[in-house]
Amino acid sequence: MTKTWLISVSVAAALAGGLAQAAGDPKAGEAKAGTVCVACHGPQGNSIVPNWPKLAGQHPEYIYKQLMDFKAGNRANAQMTPMAAPLTEDEMRNLAAYYAAQTQTGGAADPAVAALGEKLFRSGNPSTGLPACSGCHGPAGMGVGAAKFPRISGQHADYTKLSLTGFRDGARANDPNSMMRGVAARMTDQEIAAVAQYLQGLSL
């Protein structure tokens, strides 16, 4: 019941906001990425620093939303806030289109904790009311672009831990209707670490 309610509310809330987003120009985005974004997010959006997210293969709607949130101050980050501030909406769309078209490099999970991570990802934790991650992000962790649910498969474990901890502690609060804050609030440090490791190794 909890998982079904969460998915229904999440999808309705995300779609109610409307996409209002034209497709960007990947070539223009590539030019911008090569001068502005590559230092942190790596060639073709595959960052080599685990605290910085891979953008390759991410849904353009999600990338666009995050850039808009950084620019508007709805999401704070010492590195990204000043980088997003001068971007126009067209530049954000172009970057989103470029990164969405790239191929994400795979990752490997720590087998010592990946089993617990997979269990939580697919079934949640009924004893604490934690819903399954797959309920919104899909069975392969690929997310739903139209609902702005991000791809989380193959993402760096360190970045996923930072994101989930940020949602849990309130440092990150740009999730519609507190969806992720509500989920992360039910997660222990051990569960966050396990899910992050499992997702790092979940690649196509």
Q: Determine if the pTM surpasses 0.85.
A: yes
Q: Return the higher-pLDDT residue of 23 and 147.
A: 147
Average pLDDT on 175-192 reads 98
The predicted pLDDT at position 87 comes to 98
d(CA 93, CA 46): 19
The predicted pLDDT at position 13 comes to 46
Specify whether the CB–CB gap between 10 and 179 falls below 8 A.
yes
The predicted pLDDT at position 9 comes to 47
Average pLDDT on 124-129 reads 98
Question: How would residue 203 be classed by pLDDT, with cut points 50, 70 and 90?
Answer: confident
Share of the chain above pLDDT 90, in %: 87
**Of 19-28, 167-176, 187-196, which gets the smallest average pLDDT?**
19-28
- Interacting residues of 77 by C-beta distance below 8 A, sequence separation 6+: 70
Question: How would residue 66 be classed by pLDDT, with cut points 50, 70 and 90?
Answer: very high
User: What is the full DSSP assignment across 142-174?
Assistant: --BTTTTBPP-TT--HHHHHHHHHHHHHTS---
Q: Round the average pLDDT of the chain to a whole number and report it.
A: 92
Average pLDDT on 105-117 reads 96
| pLDDT above 90 for 84 | yes
d(CA 200, CA 194): 10
Note the pLDDT tens digit of each residue in 41-57: 999 999 999 999 999 99
Tell me, letter by letter, the H, E, C secondary structure of 72-109: HCCCCCCCHHHHHCCCCHHHHHHHHHHHHCCCCCCCCC
Q: Which amino acid is at 180?
A: M
| pLDDT above 90 for 5 | no
130 DSSP β-pair partners: 125
Note the pLDDT tens digit of each residue in 127-183: 999 999 999 999 999 999 999 999 999 999 999 999 999 999 999 999 999 999 999
| pLDDT above 70 for 10 | no
The Cα angle at residue 107 between residues 102 and 150, in degrees rounded to 5 = 55
The predicted pLDDT at position 169 comes to 97
